[in-house]
Amino acid sequence: MSRYLNGRTFGWASAAVLLVVATGSVAVVLARSSGPAAPPEKEAEKEDRSRPLLVRAIRPEVKPLKRVTVQPAHIEAYEKVDVYAKASGYVEKFARVREPDGSDHDLDIGDRVGKGEVLAELWVPEMEQDQRQKEALVEEAQAELGQAEASSKSAAAMVTVAGAKLKQARAELSKYQAEVDFRKGEYERYKRLLAERTTREELVEERLNQYRAALSALAGAQAAIDTAQANLEVEQARQAKALADVTSAKAHLKVAKANLEQAKILLGYAQVRAPFSGVVTRRLVDTQAFVQSAAMGKPVPLFTIARVDRLRVITDIPESDSNWIKAGQAATLRVDAARGHLFSGKVVRFADALDTATRTMRVEVELDRPEKLPRTLRPGLYGTLTITLEDIPDALTLPTSALVPSGEKPTVMVVDKGVARRREIELGINDGITMQVTKNLTKDDRVITDGKDAVRDGQLVEVFK
C-alpha cells in the first residue's frame, strides 16, 4: 500500500485495518496487520537517505536576554546599636515625646529620635560633688596665678631699681677716678718741686694725703659698684623665681581646668544620647532603675536604636552564581508583607568570599530613593530578591528544545542547501527555556526543531512549511 504527499511517494512496511463496532456508548477497536514484513534495518536506512525527510526549522532570534538569580532575602536596619550608660547611677527621667494631639509621654519603643538627642538622664550625686570640688580647685589655681603674676611684677621693679643703682655707682666711679688722677699728678709735681728745693716738705705731705684720700674714695666707689651688681643679681634671681612661679601657677590652673572638664564630661555621661537618628526598638529599663557603667563588667543596655532611613537587603548567593556578582548590578525586591510590591535597588557590597559551611556568599543590596520607601518596609521582613547578573540587549537565542541530545558539546542540526548538518555551538545564558548562542551560529541559519532526532548528519531534508 502506498500514499502520496506533496507529489512524493511514502511507503509503509505494514498497514493496519481498523474496524470500529459501536454498541451503545462503547466502541470496540480491532486492529489487524497486513502487508509484507518490514525490510531489514540497513535497507530502510538506505531508502531513507535517498529521499528528503520532512522537518521543521526556525531561525535564531535576536532579542534582549538577562541572566538573573532569584534568592530569598531579608531586610535589616542600616545600623543598629545597643545604647549603654557610661556612668553608673539611677534613671532619673526619660525624654518626653510629644504626640500630634498635644499630649506627651516618656520615650518608648517605636518613637523616632534624632542624632545627639537626650534619651534619658541619670542621677549621679558623687559626680556632681566631684564637679563642685574641681570648680573650687580651679578658683584656687586662678588666685595662685594672680599672686604669682603680682610677685613677678614686683620682682621686675626691684630689678629695675637695682640696675639704676648700679648705673649710678658706675657713674660715680668715673668721678673718683678723675679725682685720683688729679691728686696723683699734683703729688708728683710737688715731689719734683721738693727735689728742686722750691717748696716745703709739709706741702708735699699734704698733697700725698690728698692723693691717698682720693684712692680711698675710688676704692669705696668700686665697692659700691660691686654691691650694686650683687644686688642686681639677687633681684634678677628673684624675678626669675617669680616668673617660674607664674609658669607653675599657669600649669596648676591648666591641670585644674582639665580636671574640671573631665568631671563635666563624666557628669555629661549622666545624659544618655542617641548615637544617630533612628527609631527605638527596645527600652530595657524604667525610672529609678540603677544602671551600671558600660566599663563595669556586664551592663544592661538602656535602649536599642535602629537606623531605618536606609535599609540593607541581605541575601546569600550560591556558589554557582557568586562569580557573576558585581557592585552596581540591578536588583528587585518583592516583599509579600508589603502586598507584593516591587522595590528596585542595586548591589552595593558583597563578601567576596564564600561561607565554607553553606557554600554561599553574603551580598547586600540598598534600595533606591530610601526617602520614598514606605514605613511598612521594616527591618526583619523577608522577601524574594532578583539580581540581574548579566543583561545582553541583542542576544542570539534559540529554544533549548533545539539541542540535539549529546554527551559532548552542545549541538544543533542546521539545514544547509537541503542537507542536514550537525554543528557544535557555544552557549551563554540558559534559563532552561531559552538559550543564548555565542559561537558557530548566525541569525540567518535555519535550525531544525521538529524531526531533529530522526535526522542524521548529511541526510537530505525538506523544511515543512
Q: Residue 45 has what pLDDT?
A: 52
- Answer whether 436's CB lies under 8 Å from 399's CB: no
Query: Is it the case that residue 50 has pLDDT exceeding 90?
Result: no
Confidence of residue 357 (pLDDT cuts 50, 70, 90): very high
Percent of the chain exceeding pLDDT 90 equals 52
Cα dihedral 236/240/245/251 (nearest 10): 160
Q: pLDDT tens digit string along 52-65?
A: 899 999 999 999 98
Query: Is it the case that residue 16 has pLDDT exceeding 50?
Result: no
Looking up cell 551580598, which residue turns up? 363
Chain-centroid distance of CA 450 in Å reads 58
Query: Is it the case that residue 402 has pLDDT exceeding 80?
Result: yes
State the distance between the two ends of the chain, measured CA to CA, in whole angstroms.
26
In this structure, is the dihedral angle defined by the CA atoms of residues 20, 21, 23 and 29, taken in order, positive or negative?
negative
What lies within 8 Å, CB to CB, of 243 at 6+ separation is 152, 155
Cα separations in angstroms, 103 against 97, 106, 260: 8, 11, 39
Distance CA 16, CA 285 (A): 90
**Residue that wins the pLDDT comparison between 241 and 26:** 241
| Annotation: CATH topology of 2-59+403-463 | 2.40.420
Confidence of residue 47 (pLDDT cuts 50, 70, 90): low
Q: Residue 371 has what pLDDT?
A: 80
Distance CA 122, CA 174 (A): 80
Mean pLDDT score of the chain: 85
Half-sphere exposure of 454 (CA within 13 A, CB side): 13
- Answer whether 347's CB lies under 8 Å from 385's CB: no
Looking up cell 545604647, which residue turns up? 83
Q: Which CATH class is domain 127-268?
A: mainly alpha
Look up residue 330 and give its three cell numbers.
Answer: 540591578
Cα separations in angstroms, 71 against 357, 381, 384: 18, 14, 6
Angle between helix 125-195 and helix 201-268 axes, rounded to 10 deg: 170
Look up residue 165 and give its three cell numbers.
Answer: 643703682
Max CA separation in the chain (angstroms): 199
Q: Looking at 24-33, 89-98, 317-326, which range is the least confident one? A: 24-33
Q: Residue 299 has what pLDDT?
A: 84
Q: What is the mean pLDDT of residues 336-349?
A: 89
User: Can you list the positions of beta strands (E) in 142-266?
Assistant: none
Q: pLDDT tens digit string along 412-443?
A: 999 999 999 999 999 988 888 899 999 999 99
What lies within 8 Å, CB to CB, of 303 at 6+ separation is 82, 83, 119, 120, 272, 280, 282, 283, 284
Query: Is it the case that residue 44 has pLDDT exceeding 90?
Result: no
Q: What is the mean pLDDT of residues 8-21?
A: 32
- Whether this prediction's pTM lies above 0.85 is answered by no
Q: What is the DSSP string of 316-356?
A: EEEHHHHTT--TT-EEEEEEGGGTTEEEEEEEEEE-SS-BT
State the CB neighbour count (10 A cutoff) for residue 99: 8
Query: Is it the case that residue 199 has pLDDT exceeding 50?
Result: yes
Query: Is it the case that residue 200 has pLDDT exceeding 50?
Result: yes
Look up residue 455 and give its three cell numbers.
Answer: 535526522
Instruction: Please give the CATH number for the structural domain made up of 91-122+270-301.
Output: 2.40.50
All structural domains of the chain with their residue ranges: 2-59+403-463, 65-84+303-391, 91-122+270-301, 127-268
Distance CA 206, CA 218 (A): 19
Look up residue 219 and give its three cell numbers.
Answer: 676704692
Q: Which CATH class is domain 65-84+303-391?
A: mainly beta
Q: Residue 20 has what pLDDT?
A: 31
Q: Looking at 112-121, 193-202, 332-341, 370-379, which range is the least confident one? A: 193-202
Rounded to 5°, angle at Cα 127 from 125 and 133: 110
Confidence of residue 182 (pLDDT cuts 50, 70, 90): confident
Q: Residue 295 has what pLDDT?
A: 82
**Residue that wins the pLDDT comparison between 3 and 92:** 92
Phi and psi at 182, nearest 5°, equal -65, -50
Q: What is the mean pLDDT of residues 73-89?
A: 93
- Residue 120, SS3 per DSSP: strand
Q: Residue 221 has what pLDDT?
A: 83
What lies within 8 Å, CB to CB, of 184 at 6+ separation is 211, 214
Q: Residue 133 has what pLDDT?
A: 93
By DSSP bridging, strand 382-399 and strand 61-83 are: antiparallel
Cα–Cα nearest to 74, from 311, 315, 310, 359:
315
Cα–Cα nearest to 343, from 378, 280, 385, 298:
385
